[in-house]
Structure 1
C-alpha cells in the first residue's frame, strides 16, 4: 500500500476521448494537484452519489488547481456511457487489468464474489507527484471525506 510522502506510482490507462480510446498517464498532470479517486464499479448507488458530489464541486477543485481523476476496473466504454449519462466532466480511466489498484493497495481480494474490484479510495497528489493524502476503505459503502480532501488541497496552494 502507498503512504503519504512517497512518490505516487505513475500509470498509463485507457480512457475514452473525443475520437475514441486513448491513453491517459498520471504523469501528464505534473504541475497540478490531483485528486485520484478509486471506486468499485459504475452504475452502483454509492458510486453514483460520490461522483455526482464530485461533479457538483468541480468549480472548487478548479480553484484549488486540482484535476480529478476517477478510476475503476470497468471497461472504458462502460465508464464513458456512465459519465455521459451523469454529466461527469472529470477524467475517468479504466484499470481493467487491475494493476493500478493493486499498486496503490486499493483492491478487494473478493467483493461479493468479484475478484480484484477497486476499493473506494482517495489520494491527493501534489504538483511534484508526491502523495499528500491517502484514504482506502475496506467497505464499499463508505465514501471519502471530501472536506478533508479539500483541506489538504488548500494546504498545498
Structure 2
C-alpha cells in the first residue's frame, strides 16, 4: 500500500476472549496496531501463524505495536484457542463478520463455509492510518512477517 494513498482504518468494537469489548480507537494516539485476520482457530496454518506471533512478541513489544488477531470464530472458541496455544496477545471475535466485511477480507466460500475471514495483515499507525496491508487469497500462505516488522520500525 502506498503511503500517500493510505486510508483511515475503519474503527470497530469486538469481543475479546473474556467477552469484553475492545475498540481499535482504544489505541489511537497511544500505540501502533497490527491486525491479523485469520480463517479459523485450531486449523493448522492458523495455529502456525499465531504461534509465530507468540514466539516473537518481544519484537512487537519493542516496536510499540499492539498485536490483535481477529477471526469469525466465537469468543468462546477463541478463548479455548488462546489457552491451548498459550497466546500472549489479544484475540477478537468477529462472529457477525462486520469488521471482516469492512476490511474486505472475507471469502465468499471457504471449503463450503460462507464468509470466513481471509488471512490478512494490516499495520495501523498511532493516528489510525493504514500503513500496510496484505490480503492473502491462499489460506496456506503466511503473512510477510519481515515486511510487517520493517514497516513497524519505520512508523
Shared fold (TM-score, shorter chain, > 0.5): yes
Structure 1 runs of 4+ aligned residues shifted over 4 Å read none
Q: SS at the partner of 1:117?
A: strand
How many residues are treated as equivalent by the alignment? Answer: 151
Q: SS at the partner of 1:115?
A: strand
Q: Counterpart of 1:5?
A: 6
Q: Counterpart of 2:23?
A: 25
How many Å apart are 1:16 and its aligned residue?
Answer: 2.5
Q: TM-score, normalised by structure 2?
A: 0.95
CA distance in 2, matches of 1:36, 1:79: 15
How many Å apart are 1:142 and its aligned residue?
Answer: 0.6
Unaligned 5+ runs, structure 1: none
Q: Which has the higher strand share?
A: 2
Unaligned 5+ runs, structure 2: none
1:87-106, CA deviations, whole angstroms, 9 ceiling, x for partnerless residues?
10100000000010110010
Q: Counterpart of 1:130?
A: 129
Superposed, 1:7-156 pairs within 5 Å as: 7-17=8-18, 21-30=19-28, 31-156=30-155
Q: SS at the partner of 1:109?
A: strand
CA distance in 2, matches of 1:34, 1:113: 32
Backbone CA RMSD of aligned residues:
1.0
CA distance in 1, matches of 2:20, 2:65: 22
Q: TM-score, normalised by structure 1?
A: 0.94
